[in-house]
Amino acid sequence: MRIGLFGGTFDPVHNGHLSIADSFLKSGKIDQLWVLLTPFPPHKAEDNQASYSTRLHMLQKAFEGKENVNILTIENELPKPSFSFNTIRHLKQINDPDFQFYFCIGEDNLAKFHTWKFHEKILDEADLLVAKRPGADHSQVKNYILESTTFVNHEPLEVSSSKIKELLGVGELENMLPEKVLDIIRKEALYTSKN
């Protein structure tokens, strides 16, 4: 079994995440996508963030009924701050040793990948699957990283969690995120403090 690991803070989950997830699954490189909900790193501002359980609720609604997708809360149980390397190593320890893991990221993260803690060790455990993202540039990415990278066909969507927070209450959010997620945001009055 080939598993893609796709992590994020998903604050909130949006159509960019759903479409990138589809592209990873359609790539033929993986059989299942495991979506890892990451706790906020301690250095991130506390304002304007949804709680872990609310982000999980939105994530579950967004991926409801999608085949071959599992949502994992393991990073909330492992020591914090969450390092992807620790998560991958843990998942390898508790799953069938024949499972092959791919680490799935958007292209913006590829350019920053060399700054991630233990990034070389991540490459020892998993290859990267990378989907295109508008504005991302990987021309400076080192060869040893590119050698472990497979690019996935992807029709980029111009949307981000920060953009959604900015537009909330002032602009058009249609086509940016699933209606069910927008309903939760409105019902719980999330992201109302502007910063």
| Beta bridge partner(s), residue 127 | 102
Q: Which is nearer to ligand ATP, 91 or 176 (CB)?
A: 176
Asked if 185 interacts with ligand ATP (CB under 6 A), we say no
Q: How far is the CB of 59 from ligand ATP (least distance, A)?
A: 10
Q: From the list 25, 88, 105, 168, which residue makes contact with ligand ATP (rule: CB under 6 A)?
A: 105
Q: How far is the CB of 126 from ligand ATP (least distance, A)?
A: 14
170-179 CB contacts, 8 Å cutoff, 24+ apart: 175/15, 176/14, 176/15, 177/12, 177/13, 177/14, 177/15, 177/62, 178/13, 178/15, 178/18, 178/61, 178/62
Cα separation, 134 vs 156, in Å, equals: 6
Q: From the list 162, 167, 180, 183, which residue makes contact with ligand ATP (rule: CB under 6 A)?
A: 162
Residues that bind ligand ATP (CB under 6 A): 8-10, 16-17, 20, 105-106, 108-109, 131, 133, 156-157, 159-162
